[in-house]
Amino acid sequence: MNLTQLNEDFGLPGMLRFEQTPTGLIYAEVSTPAAAATVYLQGAHLTHWQPTGQQPVLFLSRKSDLEPGKPIRGGVPIAFPWFAVDQKADRINGKPGPSHGFARTENWTLAFAALSGDDLHLTFTLAPNATSRSMGFDHFRVAFQLTIGRTLTMQLTVANDAPVAPLVFEEALHTYFAVADVHEVSVTGLEPTAYIDKTDNFKLKPALHAPLTFTGFTDRIYNHTKATCVLHDVLGKRRIVVEKTNSDTTVVFNPWKELPDLGPDEWHELLCVETVNAAESPVTVGPGKAHTMQAHISVEVV
C-alpha cells in the first residue's frame, strides 16, 4: 500500500498520519493526547515512544541506517524466526539467514488502526514470501499489535498454517531503552537467575543474587525467567518497568562501544532488556495453532 492509500484508509486527523523518508521508508507518526510514537512498516519497527510529559522511552541511534533492507539500530527490532545468529543455517532447503531473522527487514502490512480511549491501536501483519521461503519458512502468519498510550503494550502472535508439521521458531522484542547513562543504571528482576554470558564464550554463570549494574560489554541470555524487570535510571530520575507474558527468556545487551550504525558515545544512552523466547526456550506451535508473546512497558517518575 502506498503513502496516499495508507493515509486515506488508516489516517486519523491530528492523531495518525503516514510519511516517507527520503530513502523511501514509510512510517506511521502517532500523536495523541497520551503519547507520541513512530513505527516503520519495514520490520513493523517501533522507533519512538514518548508518553506525554516524559522523555522518550526508546533509544534510537542517530547514526542508524534508515535504508530499505537494512536493520534499524534502536527502538524495538522484532527478531523472528530466530534470535541472533542463525543456529539452523543447515536447515533442509533453507539457506543461512541474517542476524535475528528476516522479519525486521521485511515490509509488514498495516491491517488495523484505531483510537480507543487514550490508546492508539495498530496491527501489522507478516506472511511468507520469497525471502522467508528461501530460508525454509513457509506456512506462518505473524501479527504485531501495538497499544500506544501512557503505557506501551507490544504483542507478537505467530500462527502455524501448515497442515501437519509443527512450526519451531525463536522470537524477540529486542527493546532498546533510552537511559541517561548506562553506568548509573541498575536492573532488578533477574537476581535469582543464572545466565549465559555471550561475552565469555557462552559460559553459564551463576545467579548474581544482586541487581545488575553495568561496567563493560554486556550480552547475556537469561533462560527460564518470566520475571518483570525494572530499569532504575537514577540520573534520568525514572524507572522503566518491563512486564512480560509467554516469554521464557530475557536478554540484556549493551555493546559498550561504537558500532558502524551507532555513534562513539551513544552506547552510554542505551540498555537493551529484551522480551524473548530463544536459546533453551524456542517455541513449538502445532498445525493450526498460534502463540502470543507480550511485553508491557510503563514508566514511573521518581
Ligand X SMILES: O=P(O)(O)OC[C@H]1O[C@H](O)[C@H](O)[C@@H](O)[C@@H]1O
Q: Cell for 119?
A: 490508546
**Measured in whole angstroms, how far is the alpha carbon of residue 33 from the centre of its chain?**
24
Using CA atoms, how far apart are residues 301 and 23, in angstroms rounded to an integer?
37
Which has the closest alpha carbon to 253: 189, 172, 183, 176? 176
- Residue 291: CB minimum distance to ligand X, A: 21
Does 99 participate in binding ligand X (rule CB under 6 A)? yes
Of 101 and 149, which has the nearer Cβ to ligand X?
101
- Residue 247: CB minimum distance to ligand X, A: 14
Of 178 and 251, which has the nearer Cβ to ligand X?
251
Does 100 participate in binding ligand X (rule CB under 6 A)? yes
Which has the closest alpha carbon to 251: 201, 216, 212? 212
Contact indicator for 176, 272 with CB cutoff of 8 Å: yes
Selecting among 170, 171, 269, 274, the annotated active-site residue is 274
Helix (H, G, I), strand (E, B) or coil at 43: coil
Does 75 participate in binding ligand X (rule CB under 6 A)? no
Using CA atoms, how far apart are residues 297 and 161, in angstroms rounded to an integer?
30
Does 272 participate in binding ligand X (rule CB under 6 A)? yes
Using CA atoms, how far apart are residues 242 and 296, in angstroms rounded to an integer?
6
- Residue 270: CB minimum distance to ligand X, A: 11
Does 219 participate in binding ligand X (rule CB under 6 A)? yes
Of 105 and 123, which has the nearer Cβ to ligand X?
105
User: Would you call 191 a catalytic residue per the annotation?
Assistant: no
Of 74 and 149, which has the nearer Cβ to ligand X?
74
Q: Which residues contact 1 (CB under 8 A, 6 or more apart)?
A: 9, 109, 110
- Residue 99: CB minimum distance to ligand X, A: 3
**Binding track, positions 231-270, relative to ligand X; x by CB under 6 A:** --------------------x-x-----------------
- Residue 69: CB minimum distance to ligand X, A: 14
Transcribe 46-86 into DSSP letters. EEEEEETTS--SB-B-TT----TTS--SBSBPEE-SSSSS-
User: Would you call 171 a catalytic residue per the annotation?
Assistant: no
- Answer for which of 34, 58, 60, 84 binds ligand X (CB under 6 A) is 84
**Measured in whole angstroms, how far is the alpha carbon of residue 64 from the centre of its chain?**
16
Does 97 participate in binding ligand X (rule CB under 6 A)? no
Does 278 participate in binding ligand X (rule CB under 6 A)? no
Cell 535475528 belongs to: 100
Does 6 participate in binding ligand X (rule CB under 6 A)? no
Residues with active-site annotation = 174, 274
Which residue ranges make up the site for ligand X (CB under 6 A)?
71, 84, 99-100, 174, 198, 219, 251, 253, 272
